[in-house]
């Protein structure tokens, strides 16, 4: 599961970077990440940084999340957050646009784990099954999550148990995405 998800994410990232190179003549660019240290930063041009994915240099686990909640995390989600350092990427599926959340640096990896813990604590308090977010949508009330029990990927309405299925697995979700430069 880890290897398949890592390969799918690596392939998607390659297609995403190729799209930027083809359409803009440079690697993916971000104004939000300007000045935020990362091994991904290639060049700063005016108010944007150009970035490329880099190898993940930490232990490939989410042990802090697992220990905090006494919960074993879906291996595919572990792969999602530990396959690489990269900027967030935009993708479409069935006419909907998503921002795929990635780990930008070693420091960012700590923040991601803290946010996952907070999300799982909220799910526990609401007595909902555990989910792990992997992407955002255009709505502040919806996120793309992976069910920690089944591995299914869906759009989740925050604060509710309402879910819209997207794919039976994270690997299949990634494979069905079309890279986009976003808005």
What global pTM score does this model have? 0.94
Judged by DSSP in three states, 26 sits in coil
The answer to whether 146 and 134 are in contact (CB under 8 A) is: yes
Q: What is the pLDDT of residue 183?
A: 56
Position of tokens 């070693």?
Answer: 106
For residue 40, what is the domain's CATH number?
3.40.1580.20
Q: Which domain holds residue 92?
A: 2-180
| Residues with pLDDT less than 50, the chain | none
The answer to whether 76 and 171 are in contact (CB under 8 A) is: yes
- Total structural domains within the chain: 1
- The CA distance from 142 to 150, in Å, is 20
């Amino acid at each position: 599961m880890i290897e398949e998800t890592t390969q799918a994410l690596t392939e998607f990232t390659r297609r995403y970077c190729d799209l930027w190179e083809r359409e803009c003549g440079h690697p993916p660019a971000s104004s939000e990440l300007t000045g935020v240290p990362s091994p991904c930063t290639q060049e700063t041009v005016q108010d944007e940084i150009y970035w490329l994915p880099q190898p993940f240099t930490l232990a490939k686990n989410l042990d802090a999340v697992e220990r905090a909640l006494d919960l074993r995390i879906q291996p595919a989600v572990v792969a999602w957050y530990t396959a690489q350092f990269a900027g967030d990427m935009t993708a479409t599926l069935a006419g909907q646009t998503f921002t795929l959340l990635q780990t930008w640096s070693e420091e960012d990896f700590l923040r991601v784990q803290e946010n996952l813990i907070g999300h799982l604590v909220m799910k526990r308090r609401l007595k909902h099954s555990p989910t792990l977010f992997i992407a955002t949508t255009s709505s502040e009330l919806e996120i793309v999550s992976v069910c920690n029990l089944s591995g299914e990927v869906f759009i989740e309405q925050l604060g509710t148990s309402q879910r819209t299925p997207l794919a039976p697995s994270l690997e299949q979700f990634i494979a069905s995405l079309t890279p986009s430069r976003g808005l």
